């Protein structure tokens, strides 16, 4: 297997890991004002992802860095053409990170509500825009002979891309609801279960429509399998959630995310950014790649450090595996919530 193909697969794995892990972070943030009825309950929601959210974002940095190093032409065209949506994602992630740190600095309800709103929008905006971005990558964008994006911001807001954004938004919120049901107790857990039950049908409709359109227009024979498994994951999530099996339900939405991302990358290959102007102008794994020597060095580094990162992050989730309840929130916060 060529080095360019190996790194295309590795980048797909990195993005898949990011969406799987950061997906439930976004979902928890989006559900903060819905499931958290008072400050103590909102603190419970934040505490479920408190030890891991910043670690989950590391996968975004690694995916971006790997794209830059392995496919610099792809990185340059992507970040210049998608400058505004990617800037909005970056700003949203910054605001969300600041909100996690600052919301508890003052015992003031208005202060905390403002930061809660920042967490909400800092979760919803990236969850939507990532879907828009990747749908456009698969669909293709106006790239000229100089490998430069020559479209406008509004070219990115086409119906297919907006459907992709809506798909990632509802799927991540469902993923987050099931994560909360898995990680909390009492009323918060029950509320998360109920909301997940309502979201499953909407996710099946929206996500199913997006994946079917993707398959019919851009897919390959093998992606019928990934589309089918993605659908099966949502069915598993619905059945398991109805039976109170939160672990299996969360695994179901995780399976859907993995297979949905796999569908997009398999449909994209061997392109990395198709051109809608002329197929000859498309960026591929060949013409957008770094030198073979660079890819060889990157492969050695990845083989050494990736297992270490996986072990460390797995250990973190194991340490913080227990459920969280309102009873564990400090009395001072609980009293303020009342």
Across 123-132, 134-143, 308-317, 327-336, least confident range: 327-336
Compute the distance between CA of residue 128 and CA of residue 89 in angstroms, rounded to an integer: 9
Mean pLDDT of 154-182: 95
Q: Give yes or no for residue 71 having a pLDDT over 90.
A: yes
CA contacts within 13 A on the Cβ side of 264: 30
Better pLDDT: 38 or 332: 38
Better pLDDT: 328 or 44: 44
* pLDDT at res. 164: 96
Structural domain for 330, as ranges: 3-337
Q: How far apart are the first and last CA of the chain?
A: 61
* pLDDT at res. 1: 64
* pLDDT at res. 335: 44
pLDDT in tens, 27-48: 999 999 999 888 889 999 999 9
* pLDDT at res. 337: 45
Tell which residue, 263, 311, 276, 320, has the closest CA to residue 47: 320
The encoded tokens of residue 259 equal 């297979």
Compute the distance between CA of residue 53 and CA of residue 135 in angstroms, rounded to an integer: 25
* pLDDT at res. 336: 47
* pLDDT at res. 338: 44
The model's pTM is: 0.92
Q: What is the pLDDT confidence band of residue 328, given thresholds at 50, 70 and 90?
A: confident
Across 142-151, 166-175, 328-337, least confident range: 328-337
CB 282 within 8 A of CB 266: no
Mean pLDDT of 109-134: 94
The encoded tokens of residue 147 equal 């490998």
Q: What is the pLDDT confidence band of residue 211, given thresholds at 50, 70 and 90?
A: very high
Average pLDDT, the chain: 91
Across 134-143, 190-199, 267-276, 296-305, least confident range: 296-305
Compute the distance between CA of residue 239 and CA of residue 262 in angstroms, rounded to an integer: 24
Q: Give yes or no for residue 334 having a pLDDT over 50.
A: no
pLDDT in tens, 73-104: 999 999 889 999 999 999 999 999 999 989 88
Q: What is the 3-state secondary structure (H, E, C) of the chain?
A: CCHHHHHHHHHHHHHHHHHHHHHHHHHHHHHHHHHCCCHHHHHHHHHHHCCCHHHHHHHHHHHHHHHHHHCHHHHHHHHHHCHHHHHHHHHHHHHHHHHHHHCCCCCCHHHHHHHHHHHHHHHHHHHHHHHHHHHHHHHCECECCCCCECCCHHHHCCHHHHHHHHHHHHHHHHHHHHHHHHHECHHHHHHHHHHHHHHHHHHHHHHHHHHHHHHHHHCCCCHHHHHHHHHHHHHHHHHHHHCCCHHHHHHHHHHHHHHHHHHHHHHHCCEEECECCCHHHCEECCCCCCCHHHHHHHHHHHHHHHHHHHHHHHHHHHHCCCCECHHHCCHHHHHHHC
How many domains would you assign to the chain? Answer: 1
Compute the distance between CA of residue 226 and CA of residue 232 in angstroms, rounded to an integer: 10
Q: Give yes or no for residue 235 having a pLDDT over 70.
A: yes
Q: What is the pLDDT confidence band of residue 202, given thresholds at 50, 70 and 90?
A: very high
């Amino acid at each position: 297997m060529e080095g360019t193909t190996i790194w295309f697969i590795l980048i797909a794995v990195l993005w898949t890991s990011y969406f799987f892990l950061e997906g439930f972070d976004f979902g928890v943030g989006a559900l903060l004002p819905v499931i958290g009825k008072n400050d103590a309950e909102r603190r419970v929601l934040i505490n479920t992802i408190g030890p891991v959210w910043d670690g989950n974002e590391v996968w975004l940095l690694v995916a971006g860095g790997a794209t830059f190093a392995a496919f610099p032409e792809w990185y340059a065209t992507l970040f210049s053409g998608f400058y505004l949506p990617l800037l909005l994602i970056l700003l949203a992630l910054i605001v969300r990170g600041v909100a996690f740190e600052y919301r508890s600095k003052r015992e003031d309800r208005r202060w905390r509500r403002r930061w809660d709103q920042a967490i909400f929008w800092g979760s919803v905006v990236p969850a939507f825009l990532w879907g828009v971005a990747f749908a456009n990558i698969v669909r293709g964008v106006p790239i000229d002979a100089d490998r430069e994006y020559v479209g406008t911001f509004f070219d990115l807001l086409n119906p297919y891309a907006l459907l992709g954004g809506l798909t990632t938004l509802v799927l991540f919120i469902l993923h987050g609801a099931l994560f909360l049901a898995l990680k909390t107790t009492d009323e918060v857990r029950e509320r998360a279960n109920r909301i997940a039950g309502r979201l499953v049908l909407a996710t099946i409709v929206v996500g199913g429509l997006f994946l079917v359109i993707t398959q019919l227009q851009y897919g390959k024979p093998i992606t019928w399998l990934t589309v089918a498994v993605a659908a099966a994951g949502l069915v598993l999530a619905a059945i398991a959630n109805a039976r109170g099996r939160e672990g299996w339900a969360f695994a179901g939405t995780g399976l859907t995310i993995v297979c949905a991302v796999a569908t997009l990358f398999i449909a994209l290959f061997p392109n990395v950014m198709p051109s809608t102007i002329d197929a000859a102008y498309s960026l591929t794994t060949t013409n957008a790649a770094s030198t073979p020597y660079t890819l060889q060095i990157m492969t050695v580094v990845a083989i050494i450090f990736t297992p270490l990162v996986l072990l460390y992050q797995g250990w973190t989730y194991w340490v913080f595996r227990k459920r969280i309840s309102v009873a564990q929130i400090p009395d001072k916060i609980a009293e303020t919530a009342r």
